[in-house]
Amino acid sequence: MTTRDPAFRCAAASLERAETAVGTASTVQAFLLVENPGPWGSDALREARLPDGLGPALAAAAAAARVRPLLIRRPGRAVSTVSEGIRVFAAYADPVRPWLETTVVSDAGELLDLDLAALGEGRSPGLTPYDAPLLCVCTHGRHDACCAERGRPVAAALAAAHPEETWEVSHIGGDRFAANLLALPHGLYYGRVDPASALRVARAHLSGHLELDLLRGRSSYPMPVQAAEVALRRKLGETRTQMLRLVSRRRADATTTAVFATGQARWSVRVHSTTGDTPLQLTCRARRDNAVPVHEVVSITALDAEESAR
């Protein structure tokens, strides 16, 4: 087994090699967020302080329903509302009509009664609609040191400005882009966020806009389509969250063609996906090296009405 340097930090290494974060958001549509003050082990749900067997059972049920389970807590932990029950959120990151619901359960065992199958299919699991967004910052240090070192200052800054919307969250993917911020219910992943830029992201999101310089991608899209959306938005200067609609996508070998609509206009974006030639240590705790995925935007083309109909 390769000996790892305990001082290695994946976020610094990723910055040093000038790796782009665009097109790297985890591909997830359905999220289940469960309040838990911690501490969180490397595998947060399985190692959380929950009744025996509950963590693995909930993880298995979520996997079967294609739901991503995450633990959340208030920054600083002392502000936790767990004494009043366990806050639960169900989010579905539909690219057109994302939604969020919530409830409070008095006993952790009630988590297994949630209708995760409905959530995974994009249907309401029967909770209460929740209109405010969630700003979730990964601070999962047991999973990756960079997430704690870079995430906690971001969570603290956001909590000071937006206390109701801000939560710390367990591993969401992309440790090397820490600090990572997940905006729900839209499923927008932001990376390399610091306290100052986190406030810009929050202001933009709360006003219905995206911060394109930090956007990793929209989790409801495959990674090449995420890269296509960000590239097209940058070309058009379009930051309004819901103003680009994915019309179609197709993949031929390593090339993905995504067609987006904005108003009456249609745009075709071609993205070629490869992996880097040299395997690298991508996370602080990685046991083996992996190649870095690369999504290169080949072309962005305006389509006329006839081409759009094909």
CATH number of the CATH domain containing 106: 3.40.30.10
Kindly report, residue by residue over 18-50, the tens digit of the pLDDT: 999 999 999 999 999 999 998 898 988 888 888
Whether residue 250 is contained in a domain is answered as yes
Kindly report, residue by residue over 184-194, the tens digit of the pLDDT: 999 999 999 99
Per-residue model confidence (pLDDT) at position 212: 98
Last residue of a domain, one of 216, 235, 270: 216
Same domain, 197 and 228: no
Burial of residue 71 (CB within 10 Å: 0-12, 13-18, 19+) is buried
Same domain, 28 and 119: yes
For residue 55, the tally of other CB atoms under 10 A from its CB is: 24
Question: Stretch 158-164: mean pLDDT, rounded?
Answer: 97
Look at residue 109 and tell me whether its pLDDT is greater than 50. yes
Per-residue model confidence (pLDDT) at position 308: 47
Same domain, 189 and 40: yes
Last residue of a domain, one of 216, 240, 265: 216
Distance CA 237, CA 99 (A): 26
Look at residue 206 and tell me whether its pLDDT is greater than 50. yes
Q: Is residue 134 very low, low, confident or very high in pLDDT (cuts 50, 70, 90)?
A: very high
Same domain, 71 and 180: yes
Same domain, 17 and 158: yes
Whether residue 4 is contained in a domain is answered as no
Same domain, 204 and 255: no
Whether residue 3 is contained in a domain is answered as no
Global confidence as pTM = 0.94
Same domain, 166 and 236: no
Measured N-to-C along each axis, helices 195-206 and 145-161 cross at an angle, to the nearest 10 degrees, of: 50
Is 224 in a helix, a strand, or coil?
Answer: helix
* Percent of the chain whose predicted confidence (pLDDT) is above 70: 95
Per-residue model confidence (pLDDT) at position 166: 98
Whether residue 246 is contained in a domain is answered as yes
Distance CA 78, CA 260 (A): 45
Kindly report, residue by residue over 75-100, the tens digit of the pLDDT: 986 444 445 799 999 999 999 999 99
Per-residue model confidence (pLDDT) at position 77: 61
Distance CA 288, CA 236 (A): 40
Whether residue 109 is contained in a domain is answered as yes
Which of the residue ranges 44-48, 60-64, 264-268, 292-296 would you say has the lowest mean pLDDT? 44-48
First to last CA, the chain: 53
Is 14 in a helix, a strand, or coil?
Answer: helix
Look at residue 145 and tell me whether its pLDDT is greater than 50. yes
- What contacts 66, CB < 8 A, 6 or more positions away? 29, 30, 120
- Higher-pLDDT residue of 44 and 121 is 121
Structural domain range at position 114: 11-216
Last residue of a domain, one of 159, 194, 216: 216
Look at residue 1 and tell me whether its pLDDT is greater than 80. no
Q: Is the dihedral of CA 161, 166, 169, 173 positive or negative?
A: negative
Which ranges of the chain does DSSP label H, i.e. alpha helix?
10-16, 44-47, 54-64, 116-120, 145-161, 195-206, 223-236, 305-309
Same domain, 18 and 149: yes
Per-residue model confidence (pLDDT) at position 146: 96
Residues 25 and 218 sit within 8 Å (Cβ to Cβ):
yes
Residues 273 and 254 sit within 8 Å (Cβ to Cβ):
yes
Whether residue 1 is contained in a domain is answered as no
Number of domains in the chain: 2
Question: Stretch 205-212: mean pLDDT, rounded?
Answer: 98
Per-residue model confidence (pLDDT) at position 61: 97
Whether residue 178 is contained in a domain is answered as yes
Is 64 in a helix, a strand, or coil?
Answer: helix
